């Protein structure tokens, strides 16, 4: 750390992805006396250009590396002596987990184990696992009074959600067996800036802007509970600093919409015709409805989401309109050349 004293040193894994990058920006802005170290493998979903605005910030360090690489992770912990670890790094797309589950098990489960082993060895104050509401399975469409609470049994549908649930169980086991200080957050669907255009909202925005067909799975009646990404960041911040050791916290804002409603909202905002909608074969094992009960997080930590879906979707669409080059570079593959172009010659000089 080159002699500079920071109040806290925080490891953010997966910080070149969607939620992780938003969290990096949020933390650097909110805590000017914290050091934030991002460890990210830069898989297809990680985009270093997203972090360009903070690469020169003296409180920030980017390290390219794999959370499953035990030697790299151990050396990083030895060097940095982190106070907090926030684990966002994961394979995150359900459809990809159906195509090829292996990497989901490796990154999401074994990667979490490697990070926790290093956290034990170097005595972190808190290991926070960023989990998902998908570990609870799904709810029926016709029982709108049912919500996921922290007591809802784990019941997974996809290789992705099974890998996240396995990681959650391992995190709880490390807490009980080894007294590793942990918290887990389980959040509903996020949306906002820097989301990779394979996920529903950015996929539909980017395709509608090009007048391409909009592939809606099945009948489009599946329900998701949408949370603006910054509201997720504020919740993790509170849980990290004030959450109780060993606890699970649900995060969601009661913004339930069917997929068709979401797609129609996007079409309306962009003034594009409904004829772009194309119904396609359903996702295998497709969860019907997610709906979070966040009352524990509100009651114990005073967390409140601030962005309603109707406002957040407009802000998000505007962001994708204002930042076309960010997602167009992804779609044409240029972003994958970015690291080599910008940092290839500086490999090893990661500070």
Write the interaction track for ligand DAU spanning residues 123-142; mark x where CB under 6 A is met and - where it is not: ---------xxx--------
248 binds ligand NAD (CB under 6 A): no
Q: Pick the closer one to ligand DAU by CB: 87 or 132.
A: 132
Residues forming a β-bridge with 38: 12, 62
Residue closest to ligand DAU when measured from CB atoms = 132
Distance from C-alpha of 287 to C-alpha of 97, rounded to nearest angstrom = 14
CB of 347 vs ligand DAU, minimal distance in Å: 30
Instruction: From 186, 185, 183, select the one nearest 84 (Cα to Cα).
Output: 183
Distance from C-alpha of 279 to C-alpha of 218, rounded to nearest angstrom = 6
Burial class (CB in 10 A: 0-12, 13-18, 19+), 310: exposed
Q: Pick the closer one to ligand DAU by CB: 222 or 250.
A: 222
259 binds ligand DAU (CB under 6 A): yes
| Whether the Cβ atoms of residue 183 and residue 249 lie closer than 8 Å to each other | yes
Q: Which does 89 bind (CB under 5 to 8 A by kind): ligand DAU, ligand NAD, none?
A: ligand NAD
Which listed residue (73, 116, 130, 204) binds ligand NAD by CB under 6 A?
Answer: 130
- 98 C-beta neighbours (distance < 10 Å), count: 16
Instruction: From 82, 74, 85, select the one nearest 9 (Cα to Cα).
Output: 82
Which listed residue (12, 28, 46, 127) binds ligand NAD by CB under 6 A?
Answer: 46
Distance from C-alpha of 210 to C-alpha of 268, rounded to nearest angstrom = 15
215 binds ligand DAU (CB under 6 A): yes
Q: Pick the closer one to ligand DAU by CB: 125 or 296.
A: 296
Distance from C-alpha of 32 to C-alpha of 261, rounded to nearest angstrom = 40
Phi, psi torsion values for 223, nearest 5 degrees: -110, 135
87 binds ligand DAU (CB under 6 A): no
Q: Which does 41 bind (CB under 5 to 8 A by kind): ligand DAU, ligand NAD, none?
A: ligand NAD
43 binds ligand NAD (CB under 6 A): yes
The separation between CA 129 and the C-alpha centre of its own chain, rounded to angstroms, equals 11
256 binds ligand NAD (CB under 6 A): no
Q: Pick the closer one to ligand DAU by CB: 94 or 248.
A: 94
187 binds ligand NAD (CB under 6 A): yes
CB of 104 vs ligand NAD, minimal distance in Å: 10
181 binds ligand NAD (CB under 6 A): no
Which residues are CB-contacts of 171 (< 8 A; sequence separation ≥ 6)?
112, 116, 127, 129, 182, 184
Contact set with ligand DAU (CB under 6 A): 92-94, 132-134, 188-189, 199-200, 203, 215-217, 222, 224, 259, 283, 290
């Amino acid at each position: 750390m080159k002699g500079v004293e920071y109040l806290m040193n925080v490891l953010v894994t997966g910080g070149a992805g969607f939620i992780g990058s938003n969290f990096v920006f949020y933390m650097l802005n909110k805590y000017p006396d914290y050091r934030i170290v991002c460890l990210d493998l830069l898989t297809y979903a990680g985009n270093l250009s997203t972090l360009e605005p903070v690469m020169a910030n003296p409180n920030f360090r980017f390290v390219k590396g794999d959370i499953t690489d035990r030697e790299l992770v151990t050396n990083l912990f030895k060097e940095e002596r982190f106070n907090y670890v926030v684990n966002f790094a994961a394979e995150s797309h359900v459809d990809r987990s159906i195509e090829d589950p292996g990497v989901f098990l490796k990154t999401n489960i074994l990667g979490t184990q490697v990070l926790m082993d290093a956290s034990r060895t170097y005595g972190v104050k808190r290991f926070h696992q960023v989990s998902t509401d998908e570990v609870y399975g799904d709810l029926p469409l016709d029982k709108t009074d049912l919500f996921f609470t922290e007591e809802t049994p784990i019941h997974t549908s996809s290789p992705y959600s099974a890998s996240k649930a396995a990681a959650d169980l391992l995190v709880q086991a490390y807490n009980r067996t080894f007294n590793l200080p942990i918290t887990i957050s389980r959040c509903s669907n996020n949306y906002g800036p820097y989301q990779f255009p394979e996920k529903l909202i950015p996929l539909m925005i980017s395709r509608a802007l090009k007048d391409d067909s909009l592939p809606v799975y099945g009948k489009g009646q599946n329900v998701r509970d949408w949370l603006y990404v910054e509201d997720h960041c504020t919740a993790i911040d509170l849980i990290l600093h004030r959450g109780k050791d060993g606890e699970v916290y649900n995060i969601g804002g009661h913004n339930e919409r069917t997929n068709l409603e979401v797609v129609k909202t996007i079409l309306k905002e962009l003034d594009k015709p409904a004829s772009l909608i194309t119904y396609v074969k359903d996702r295998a094992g497709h969860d019907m409805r997610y709906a979070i009960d966040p009352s524990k997080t509100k009651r114990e930590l005073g967390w409140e989401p601030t962005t309603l879906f109707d406002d957040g979707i407009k802000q998000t669409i505007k962001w994708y309109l204002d930042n076309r080059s960010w997602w167009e570079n992804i779609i044409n593959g240029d972003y994958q050349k970015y690291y080599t172009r910008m940092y290839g010659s500086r490999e090893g000089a990661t500070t």
